[in-house]
Structure 1
Amino acid sequence: MKSKIVVTGYGVKAPKSTNIAQFIHHLKNGTCCLEAVTNLLPNGDTMIIGRIDRGLEEYESDKRFKRLPRVTLLGMAAGMEAMKHAKLSSLSDQKVGLFVGVSVGAIGDKIYGESIMNISNGNLRKVPVTFSHFANYHSITSAIGHYLGIKGITKTITTGCTSSLEAIQDAIVYLQSGMIDAAVVGGTDSVLNQIAAYGFAKTKSITINQGLDDGAVPFSEKSKGFAIAEGAGFLILEREEDALKRNARIIGEIEQVVSNNDGVFIYSVDETGAQMVQALKEVTKGRKPDYVNSQALGWRINDRIEEYASKELFNHRVPYTSIKSMIGNPYGATGVLQVISSLISITQGFIPPTIRTQKDGFEAMNIVTEPLYQEVHEVAITNHGHGGNNACAYVKRYNYSR
């Protein structure tokens, strides 16, 4: 019999949330943590983003970290909070693995853009020595590992918006195999710049002139695309018996993560949602979770796949919600932040709302639009994104198994 994989700590960096307490507050109150800006699209057109405007001051003022990209600093801060939450003061006497999901990495950092310009203009001597590390996603993970004192198995998973859920999937396999005794696992991403704005506007997943009234509104035909955001989240995972041995507080259980790929052309999306339904079917095993913490972003194609899964598997009887209406889409960090929000809702007894939606065109779905206080025992999580990957997780209230 496989060991239960339990969560003993987590850490968060999200828009308007510099720590766990603030994240909980916003989830409970349905706070919109997004803002409208006019400096990322042509002609001063408006778009909405999820920005972290504080919480990294101690890292940014430390000379040791001045060469590190913002995405790394976010991961370091969230990882350290997770370790403190789990009361892991030292990892030197354990077999520890670090698993980090990243989607866009450091390409949004100023130094990366300046390096590309210097290369384009033939100013090769002005390209900084750190450029190769900014271009190499695993440098993000290794820098986080160095800061946290992890020298064991270190993996970077980059599969688009499913990256951090698939990092959790890998960590579970390593824990259950006995190759490691604890896992620090999560995701981090930051790319609030013109590269992302123009790129997603080109694919029409972001619409020119978004506003807070009509952009990043999940489950709405009227939504003008999603909101790009930055964020980081980390979990401490252990086998149940190891967590009990050290008298750790067990927050919840991650039963399973299932992932697959649509198998379509790079610029396409399988609008049937067949592979997403298959992944969700595999993790739910015929059960009806208390709710689904979904990937719905406010992008029609994406949200219709969620609707199809809701109808196919639950006949719209299971409540659905999306925290993306509050924090936007933080790329590779999105899955782990959904897991953390699900664990919070289990331990504190509420379903976070999908704010700002009138459910236009999605009236048949059971969508939670106000904070709903009730017992929560099991939550299914859905992710899908660029590259065609789908990932679903099943998170449960912890029950002592002996």
Structure 2
Amino acid sequence: MSAARPPLAVTGIGLVTPAGPGAGPTWQGVLAARATAAPDPALAGLPVGISCRVPRFDARALLGGRQSWRLDRATHFALVAAREAVADAGLWPEDWDGARVAIVLGSAAGGVGSYEQAARRFGTRGPSGVSALALPAFLPNMAAGQLAIELGVTGPVLHTATACASGAGAIHTAALLLHAGACDIALAGGADAMITPVCVAGFARMRALSRQPDPGCASRPFDAGRDGFVIGEGAAFTVLERQADALCRRAPTRALLVGVGTAADAYHPVAPHPRARGLAAAVRQALAEAGAAADDVDHVNAHGTGTRLNDSAEAGLIDRLFARRPPSVTSAKGVLGHTMGAAGAIEAALTVLTVQHQTVPATAGFAVPDQDTDRIDLVHGAPRRQRLRLALSTSAGFGGHNTALVFAPADSPGPPGLRSTPGPSAAS
């Protein structure tokens, strides 16, 4: 069992999602519970032709002409979200000691769009058709590397790849770096742009994607009529600091990260364990690190993909772990679709906003539960104002990867295990 650790301050967030670029538009879109799924002309002729794309995203205007054509779309998202998170934290890269800053970025597929483009050109033009920029565009670590170049970060720069848990895994890894004293500031998040012909065709062949005729009703987390997820894209970053350091520089703190956990199912390549064995272990680790019990949790931001197997396993876990005091539950995927490796980071940022505003967004697309999902308190119809002491964000991915993150309000004295735990000094 993990020992309780001092909390970490979330001093900045940045978001690029199908609800719009920016934390404000994303939060308002999720609160409105309006699905963003729509027919996608780029997927014409494929078995599934809908997606959740980021709207109004002009890479050339946001990043300049050179970066817009040299970098993959996922890296575009990462750069924009990271800039917002750093600005939100009140940080100026030209003033920080880059050796004491870490970047941890999670992605399920790296620059897969650039890879597919290079493969098409190779097929039609031969070796001379492949750009010299192809490898730097699609190698999975390159988005983190580009961030380091832009922000002058010379500390740990890492990439996590745990499928759809990658973004949450990046935050988990960043927390470990901060607790170990390897950095003083960590920029952690995820980015993916997997709305590509090969990715969509592959998911469709697995029957993982929704085939609802109405895009507005396609993503239906925990609903009896759910039949798969809607593929999305986007990025999110959080800025994490030791609480004492944040207080020292008088940084605005949106919420506290008080516990992290990760564990594997060791069960199946693409199906979750029926009783969510790995996710249960990750949640228990995170709660133990927070010095909290299950009854302290008021809210769960669920992975909630809208697939039959995931939602059944996750609902069962929530029902078992929190039987005495059921928490409110929501899934942002009803609005945003499944943003792949970015999902865990996006949902962590949304959990931070939920705790900050003491408001739980409704789950779009949900209407009727089934026998596997009717025992959880799923918020739907309208947002719910609620007193939130602790909120849990859960993420899972192919390969049986699971990560759990626990957040508390910025002014929280902490759960029992933390109230007498001194924070480290800024020099620790």
2: CA distance, partners of 1:210 / 1:145: 43
Indicate yes or no: 2:103 matched with 1:98.
yes
The residue correspondences of 1:174-323 to structure 2 (distance < 5 A) are 174-284=177-287, 285-288=292-295, 289-315=297-323, 317-323=326-332
2: CA distance, partners of 1:42 / 1:107: 20
**189-198 or 292-301, which deviates more:** 189-198
Alignment-derived partner of residue 55 in structure 1:
57
Residues 194/356 of structure 1: CA separation in 2 closer, same or farther (3 Å cut): same
Residues 238/267 of structure 1: CA separation in 2 closer, same or farther (3 Å cut): closer
Aligned to 1:238, what secondary structure does the other structure show? strand
How far off is 1:46 after superposition? Answer: 5.1
Asked if structure 1 preserves the Cα contact closer than 8 Å seen for 2:33 and 2:364, the reply is yes
Alignment-derived partner of residue 387 in structure 2:
375
One-letter amino acid of the counterpart of residue 315, structure 2: E
2: CA distance, partners of 1:33 / 1:207: 14
Alignment-derived partner of residue 398 in structure 2:
386
User: Aligned to 1:36, which of 19, 34, 39?
Assistant: 39
Asked if structure 2 preserves the Cα contact closer than 8 Å seen for 1:74 and 1:231, the reply is yes
How far off is 1:213 after superposition? Answer: 4.8
Alignment-derived partner of residue 92 in structure 2:
89
One-letter amino acid of the counterpart of residue 307, structure 1: A
Asked if structure 1 preserves the Cα contact closer than 8 Å seen for 2:360 and 2:385, the reply is yes
User: Aligned to 2:362, which of 332, 350, 353?
Assistant: 353
One-letter amino acid of the counterpart of residue 3, structure 1: P
Indicate yes or no: 2:376 matched with 1:333.
no
How far off is 1:122 after superposition? Answer: 7.0
Aligned to 1:196, what secondary structure does the other structure show? helix
Deviation per CA, 1:94-121, whole angstroms, max 9, x where unpaired? 5100000111121123xx2232134345
One-letter amino acid of the counterpart of residue 188, structure 2: V
Alignment-derived partner of residue 151 in structure 1:
154
How far off is 1:161 after superposition? Answer: 0.8
How far off is 1:264 after superposition? Answer: 2.7
1: CA distance, partners of 2:185 / 2:141: 20
How far off is 1:270 after superposition? Answer: 2.2
Residues 360/183 of structure 1: CA separation in 2 closer, same or farther (3 Å cut): same
**60-69 or 97-106, which deviates more:** 60-69
Deviation per CA, 1:266-289, whole angstroms, max 9, x where unpaired? 344422312212222332343331
How far off is 1:145 after superposition? Answer: 1.6
Residues 181/25 of structure 1: CA separation in 2 closer, same or farther (3 Å cut): same
One-letter amino acid of the counterpart of residue 344, structure 1: L
Q: Which portions of structure 1, spanning 4 or more consecutive aligned residues, are displaced by more than 6 angstroms?
A: none
One-letter amino acid of the counterpart of residue 93, structure 1: D
2: CA distance, partners of 1:267 / 1:160: 10
Deviation per CA, 1:135-179, whole angstroms, max 9, x where unpaired? 311112101221222122100001101111111111111111111
TM-score with structure 2 setting the length: 0.88
Cα RMSD after superposing both structures: 2.1
1: CA distance, partners of 2:80 / 2:194: 17
Asked if structure 2 preserves the Cα contact closer than 8 Å seen for 1:36 and 1:211, the reply is no
Asked if structure 2 preserves the Cα contact closer than 8 Å seen for 1:206 and 1:227, the reply is yes
Alignment-derived partner of residue 395 in structure 1:
407
One-letter amino acid of the counterpart of residue 58, structure 2: L
Asked if structure 2 preserves the Cα contact closer than 8 Å seen for 1:60 and 1:66, the reply is no
How far off is 1:395 after superposition? Answer: 0.7
One-letter amino acid of the counterpart of residue 378, structure 2: I
How far off is 1:21 after superposition? Answer: 1.4
TM-score with structure 1 setting the length: 0.93
Structure 2: tracts of 5 or more residues without a match: 414-418, 423-428
Alignment-derived partner of residue 169 in structure 1:
172
2: CA distance, partners of 1:39 / 1:231: 17
Asked if structure 2 preserves the Cα contact closer than 8 Å seen for 1:165 and 1:257, the reply is no
Deviation per CA, 1:81-103, whole angstroms, max 9, x where unpaired? 00110110125425100000111
Asked if structure 2 preserves the Cα contact closer than 8 Å seen for 1:36 and 1:46, the reply is no
Asked if structure 2 preserves the Cα contact closer than 8 Å seen for 1:281 and 1:313, the reply is no
Residues 133/283 of structure 1: CA separation in 2 closer, same or farther (3 Å cut): same
Aligned to 1:97, what secondary structure does the other structure show? strand
How far off is 1:242 after superposition? Answer: 0.8
2: CA distance, partners of 1:231 / 1:114: 19
Structure 1: tracts of 5 or more residues without a match: none
1: CA distance, partners of 2:170 / 2:213: 32
Deviation per CA, 1:210-230, whole angstroms, max 9, x where unpaired? 533542100023112101100
**52-61 or 129-138, which deviates more:** 52-61
Alignment-derived partner of residue 416 in structure 2:
none
